[in-house]
Each structure stands twice: as C-alpha cells, then as structure tokens.
Amino acid sequence: MIEPTELRNLLAVAASTAVRAGHKIMEVYNSSDFQVNLKSDRTPLTLADRLAHNEIKTSLTKTFIPVLSEEGRSITYEERKGWEYFWVVDPLDGTKEFIKRNGEFTVNIALIYERFPVAGVVYVPVTGKLYYSLQPEGAFMVTDITASSSYEVSFDELSKRSERIPKSYPRKKIVVVESRSHSSPDTIEYIQGIVEKLKDVELLPIGSSLKMCMIAEGIADIYPRLSLSSEWDTAAGQAIVEGAGFRVVTYESGERLSYNKEELVNPWFIVTNSRVR
C-alpha cells in the first residue's frame, strides 16, 4: 500500500494538474471557437475536453499509476481488472454547462485503491475554488487558485491555504441538488417524495460534480441521481463527500459506490449528509 507521505505527494500532483488543465479549459472558454463534436453516445466533446485530457494524461502518466479517463475510456476490462491503484479522471465534467457558459463545470481527478476512492481533487476553473480529500485526513477546500499553465504546489503549501469542510452554514431548509442537464422522471419523483416528507425543502439545479462538493461543503443536503452516470463523473466527488464524513450509496442496496467495474456505468445512487438519513 502507498505510504501516507507518498499519498500526500500524489494529491499535490493531482491538484497541480487539475489547475493546469483548468487553464487549458479557460483558454477555450474565453475564445470564440469551442470546436464542439458529438461522441458515440451523442454527448458533446469540445476542444477544451481534449486539451484538458492531454494535460492530465501527460502529468499523471509520470506517477506510473494507470489512468482511466472519460476521453480514454477504451481500456479493456481484462487490462484494468488487476489494477490495485489507478486514477479516474474527467477532464471537463459538465461539458453542457461549459457550452452554455454558465461556469458550472469542473476538473475531476480521483485516486482509487481496490475499488474505492482514497484521494480526490475537484477544481472549478471559473471561480478558482479547489476541493480535495485524502484518507484518513478529511476533506478541504481552497477558494482562490487562479487557473495557470505553470501551477505547481506541494501538499504542505496546499494545506496552509486550506480550510476543512464541511463548514457550518446556518439554514432551516433541507437543500436538494439535482443535475441541471441530466435529470430524469425517476429523480423528479424521488425529489417530490422528499418534499412531501420534509416539507421545507429548497431545490437547486446545478451542473457537474459541484453538486457533490456542495454537500461536502455543507451548502446542500442530498443529491439523488436516478439516471445514468459513469465512474469518472463521480469518483472525485465521492472522495470529497466521504472525506467530509458523508455518504455516496447505491439507490437499490445502500452499498458504497464502487469503481473499476466491468461496465463503467454507475448504478443509481444517493449522496447524503448527516441531516438526511
């Protein structure tokens, strides 16, 4: 097993990489040409996705740990089933929000050990907010890291700028977050059940892994995802949520969401904090 000191170094590599990938994304975001194409599943792929993927792959390959990315999903199960550690990456989570220019997109990098996340980074290029988690140390955030092509940070430097999450945000309502672009009839029905049961509920549509980070931070309470998603959509967010002491469990069995399945599709899942059980 990787020693704690090396795990901290890997977390710093992931954070530095995410910020540099964020710079690639922002260059495209601030341009007039997104170069949008459609992938085989009819979801959009932009120049920003490709540039961020290349930045992350180049950087993480130097760690000698395998990389599983949304933009490199063709690795066979036979090849990856024996992986003990591996990175799960979504270079640009929330491509639809990126295209809409609403700022709700992230760079997601998670380190998986034997099917579950042990470290994760979620970077929000537009706001400069970076969330990170490391077992067993917890979850943290930094609020002002500007995207840069040369960004490099050590774990100690990152720690000095960080604050632990969740934070305490006084509020009376239960806050439910749902996908802005990937809702489903089943999710809507589930949320209606929450409203009927708890009454005083606020619903927030949000893009990307920001939903999971909002729960980890203490801004929201529950995120039901009763529609399709893939492992790279959730791995980094799950690391942050679990580092904050909360849960990401499957809808059917209530088991912890796991990774490196033969099919890289997640079952339906629920993300909850201590206010909602």
pLDDT digit string, tens, across residues 23-50: 999 999 999 777 877 665 556 788 999 9
End-to-end CA separation in angstroms for the chain: 33
pTM for the model: 0.94
Residues 214 and 231 sit within 8 Å (Cβ to Cβ):
no
Domains recognised in the chain with CATH numbers = 4-165 (3.30.540.10), 174-272 (3.40.190.80)
Checking if the pLDDT of 276 tops 80, the result is no
Residue 170: pLDDT band with limits 50, 70, 90: confident
Number of other CB atoms surrounding residue 137 within 10 Å: 17
Give percent of the chain with pLDDT exceeding 70: 95
Checking if the pLDDT of 231 tops 70, the result is yes
Residue 199: pLDDT band with limits 50, 70, 90: confident
Residue 3: pLDDT band with limits 50, 70, 90: very high
Give percent of the chain with pLDDT exceeding 90: 78
